[in-house]
Amino acid sequence: MFKIVKARDYADMSRKAANIISAQVILKPDCVLGLATGSTPIGAYHQLIDWYNKGDVDFSQVSTYNLDEYRGLTHDDPQSYHYFMRDNFFDHINIDLANTHVPDGSNPDAEAACSAYDKMVEEAGYPDLQLLGIGNNGHIGFNEPDDHFSKGTHCVDLTESTIKANSRLFEREEDVPRQAYTMGVQTIMYARMILVVANGAAKAQAVHDMCFGPVTPQCPASILQLHPNVVVVADAEALSLC
């Protein structure tokens, strides 16, 4: 069941998303949050930091599981999602870093890295709330369009369109890793609530297909139509085809 919340702009989208996340933390202080990277959720993270600084939200008992990580980057590489999460969120709130988890992209043994991650997420009981961005091609995490929906954490080859889209964050396109470890679609669906954030015209087709297109692995986000509790917070441009 989708609930679509229309935001005025990026700042409004970020505040609305942060409100939903902070409500989760207030209602269940030891909740499990599934977190996402990409530029879209940064505003929500910064809003949560602001509320934390004002004493409104306490992350001391929260644990987190991120969706994905580039394969081959160390945790301290500024392009890694480990680094991104500390830089944009974890280092600015009172979360215990031992309770934060991101797939281990520095482990070249994909099988071992992915199964260890699945075990951790399962033992944690899966996220109470999973935050998701969406790729221009409808990907969630790094689950790219495919002929089937993925299950657990696995190694993926990134598509040319994702490499191109994400290259804006790297010095050169050649620097973008070609592979990543990502939570699978089935694992994402185990979250009890899913919050999708999207802004800008580049996401309009993907947001439309996610909400109203056929449920198909060619648009991985479309499977969210089968989840009982999904909130989409998006700005007018991202909703322009809906």
Choice among 104, 144, 209, 235 that is catalytic = 144
From the list 18-26, 31-39, 56-64, 213-221, the region that binds ligand GLP by CB under 6 A is: 31-39
From the list 49-57, 86-94, 118-126, 127-135, the region that binds ligand GLP by CB under 6 A is: 127-135
| Least distance CB 133 / ligand GLP (angstroms) | 3
At residue 134, the 3 state secondary structure works out as coil
Instruction: Report CA-CA distances (Å) from 240 to 10, 89, 181.
Output: 15, 30, 32
90 CB burial (10 A radius; 0-12, 13-18, 19+): buried
Choice among 66, 137, 143, 199 that is catalytic = 137
Position 35 contacts ligand GLP (CB under 6 A):
no
| Least distance CB 202 / ligand GLP (angstroms) | 8
| Least distance CB 2 / ligand GLP (angstroms) | 17
Instruction: Report CA-CA distances (Å) from 204 to 45, 227, 235.
Output: 23, 21, 10
From the list 52-60, 132-140, 184-192, 229-237, the region that binds ligand GLP by CB under 6 A is: 132-140
Task: Output helix, strand, coil percentages for the chain, rounded to the nearest 5.
Answer: 40, 20, 40
* 139 given a catalytic annotation: yes
Position 141 contacts ligand GLP (CB under 6 A):
yes
What phi and psi, each to the nearest 5 degrees, are found at residue 16?
Answer: -65, -45
Choice among 82, 101, 139, 154 that is catalytic = 139
Smaller CB separation from ligand GLP, 24 or 143? 143
Residues 64-83 that bind ligand GLP (CB under 6 A): 67-68
Cα angle 164, 170, 171 (rounded to 5 degrees) comes to 110
| Least distance CB 142 / ligand GLP (angstroms) | 5
Q: Note the helical H segments in the chain.
A: 10-27, 42-53, 81-88, 110-123, 160-166, 185-189, 204-212
Token pair for 227:
């989840």
| Least distance CB 208 / ligand GLP (angstroms) | 16
Residues 150-209 that bind ligand GLP (CB under 6 A): 162, 166
User: DSSP states of 80-94 as a string?
Assistant: SHHHHHHHHTGGGS-
Smaller CB separation from ligand GLP, 54 or 168? 168
Binding residue for ligand GLP, selected from 7, 31, 134, 188, defined by CB under 6 A: 134
109 CB burial (10 A radius; 0-12, 13-18, 19+): exposed
Give the binding site for ligand GLP (CB under 6 A): 36-40, 67-68, 133-135, 141-142, 162, 166
Q: Which residues are catalytic?
A: 68, 137, 139, 144
